Amino acid sequence: MIVDTHAHLYLDQFDDDRDAVLRRAHDAGVETIVMPAIGTASIQQAVDLCGKHDGLYAMTGLHPSETQDATEAEFETVKDWCDHPSIVAVGESGLDYYWDRSFDDRQRSFFRRHIRLAIEADLPLVIHNREATDDILDILAEEKARTDAPEKMRGILHCYVDPPAVAERAWALGFYVGVGGIMTFSNSEVDDYVADVPLDHIVVETDSPYLAPEPHRGDRNEPAYVRRVVDGLAEVKGVPVAEVEATTTQNARTIYEIEGEKA
241, 257, 215: which is closest to 1 by C-alpha? Answer: 241
What mean pLDDT do residues 166-180 have? 98
Q: Average pLDDT over the chain, rounded to whole?
A: 96
Compute and round to an integer the Cα radius of gyration of the chain: 17
Neighbours of 102 (CB within 10 A): 8
Does the pLDDT at position 248 exceed 50? yes
Please provide the size of the chain in residues: 263
Does the pLDDT at position 261 exceed 90? no
* Cα-to-chain-centroid distance, residue 76: 22
What mean pLDDT do residues 124-151 have? 97
Q: Which residues contact 251 (CB under 8 A, 6 or more apart)?
A: 176, 200, 201, 202, 203
Distance separating alpha carbons of residues 9 and 231, to the nearest angstrom: 22
Model-level pTM?
0.96
Q: Please, what are the domains in the chain?
A: 2-256 (3.20.20.140)
pLDDT in tens, 186-238: 999 999 999 999 999 999 999 999 999 999 999 999 999 999 999 999 999 99
